[in-house]
Amino acid sequence: MAVEYIVYGADHSYYTGKVRAYMRYKGLNWEERTATQEVYKSIILPKIGAPIVPVLETADGEYIQDTTDIIDFLEPRHPAGSVCPAGPVQRLVALLFELYGDEWLVIPAMHYRWSVIDQQREFILKEFGRMSNPNGSEEEQIAIGEKTSKGFSRMLPALGISEATIPAIEAVYLEFLDQLDKHFEQHNFLLGSRPSIGDFGFIGPLYAHLARDPVPKAIMQERAPNVFAWVERMNNPNPLSGEFLADDEVPETLLPILKTQMKDQLPDVLDAVAKNAAWLEANPGGNIPRFLGMHSFTTGDASGERVISSFAQWMYQRAYIHYQSLQGQDREAADQFLKAVGGYESLSTPMPKRLERKAGQLELVEADS
């Protein structure tokens, strides 16, 4: 093929937005192709084994799914403009924010797409329809959009989005927008003038859903113009430009966001870690199912029930392993930082089993030392 990489995905796809922004920042020789029904049938299902996007295809005929695996694969091949800060505290923050964007901001993103569907129905269904059948008529696209979007709209209860939690989900999101807006008043990206893996985690939800679907787009444009400008920067980057802040500095403006993450997301993730360990005790050597039942969770001042996502551990353990590897002054700096954002106890909680991904699945690789 003429290009070095192809990404199969869609404009309205959360995780495609993450990889797209990354490919552009790295200035790679690539192109994006829509994951049409035909692409699902002839490429994604046979190569990946599951109907999921985005998928990276290399010129050598390798296929990689999961944005984190894709970025891990590309970073060493294209080391210029590393998106992973070398500073120990900045790296910890970048990994935590990737976890937050990938696994927690999905709550407001899916809420603002599907709970308000009546106000943006045509737009959303057409997006889904256009992806499956780009050459179909508008009517055909809407009809197919109805069908292919159902699996996503049905996810709301599993994500903990209910009448009881919606007011808090909105309040927490609006507060997050305000906090991030203040941050981007002063900085181009989360940790300086270069985007990090944390920025790529955030752009998934903050572009595809929250800056593009008509209802949340209007909210972001009006309430958080600096966040909207960051979305545009992420999508039109100056390849390989910028630097992380000197001296491992983490701007004060990010602390309130991390505090919310530590308070709301970390208990959810730590419970998934415990449930995964219990499952593996009971099923030695097995592949953990994607979902392990439901558990209670908190967002802002509301509580509800949501699914226990075994995958969340795999994302979290990247930050955990990094933190646990730190020694001496680096460890002290990270400890002090975590104490300031209310995350010290969580990151100090032992992880009895670590997980490894295997073609769309998870499996145990080693016990914690």
Ligand X SMILES: N[C@@H](CCC(=O)N[C@@H](CS)C(=O)NCC(=O)O)C(=O)O
Residues 4-23, one symbol each (x = binds ligand X by CB under 6 A, - = not), give ---------xxx--------
Q: How far apart are CA 228 and CA 7, in angstroms?
A: 24
329 burial via Cβ count (<10 Å: 0-12, 13-18, 19+): exposed
20/183 with CB nearer ligand X: 20
88/204 with CB nearer ligand X: 204
Does 32 participate in binding ligand X (rule CB under 6 A)? no
| Window of 46-54, 89-97, 265-273, 320-328 that interacts with ligand X by CB under 6 A | 46-54
Does 156 participate in binding ligand X (rule CB under 6 A)? no
**Positive or negative, the Cα torsion across 124, 127, 131, 133?**
positive
Residues 267-306, one symbol each (x = binds ligand X by CB under 6 A, - = not), give ----------------------------------------
| Window of 49-57, 83-91, 335-343, 356-364 that interacts with ligand X by CB under 6 A | 49-57
**What per-residue string of b and e applies to 27-51 under the rule 16 or more CB within 10 Å gives b?**
ebebebebbbeebbeebbeebbeee
Sequence-separated (6 or more) residues with CB below 8 Å from residue 143: 129
CB of 109 to ligand X, least distance (A): 10
Binders of ligand X among 83-112, rule CB under 6 A?
102
Instruction: Yes or no: say if 261 and 100 are a contact pair by the CB < 8 Å rule.
Output: yes
13/188 with CB nearer ligand X: 13
Instruction: Tell me which residue has tokens 């192709």.
Output: 33
98/248 with CB nearer ligand X: 98
Q: How far apart are CA 58 and CA 55, in angstroms?
A: 10
Three-state SS at 291: strand
Residues 299-338, one symbol each (x = binds ligand X by CB under 6 A, - = not), give ----------------------------------------
Q: Which of 28, 52, 166, 294 binds ligand X (CB under 6 A)?
A: 52
Residue 4 φ/ψ, nearest 5 degrees:
-80, -30
Three-state SS at 303: strand
Closest of 142, 147, 108 to residue 124, by C-alpha: 142
Q: What is the CA radius of gyration of the chain?
A: 20
| Window of 24-32, 61-69, 86-94, 360-368 that interacts with ligand X by CB under 6 A | 61-69
Q: Binding residues for ligand X, how many (CB under 6 A)?
A: 10
Does 68 participate in binding ligand X (rule CB under 6 A)? yes
Does 67 participate in binding ligand X (rule CB under 6 A)? yes
CB of 27 to ligand X, least distance (A): 22
CB of 5 to ligand X, least distance (A): 15
- Strands 5-9 and 55-58 turn out to be antiparallel
CB of 58 to ligand X, least distance (A): 16
11/330 with CB nearer ligand X: 11
CB of 231 to ligand X, least distance (A): 17
SS3 of 214-237: HHHHHHHHHHCHHHHHHHHHHHCC
Closest-CB residue for ligand X? Answer: 67
39/334 with CB nearer ligand X: 39
Instruction: Tell me which residue has tokens 């924010």.
Output: 97
Does 53 participate in binding ligand X (rule CB under 6 A)? yes
Determine the length of the chain: 369
Q: Which residues bind ligand X (CB under 6 A)?
A: 13-15, 51-53, 66-68, 102
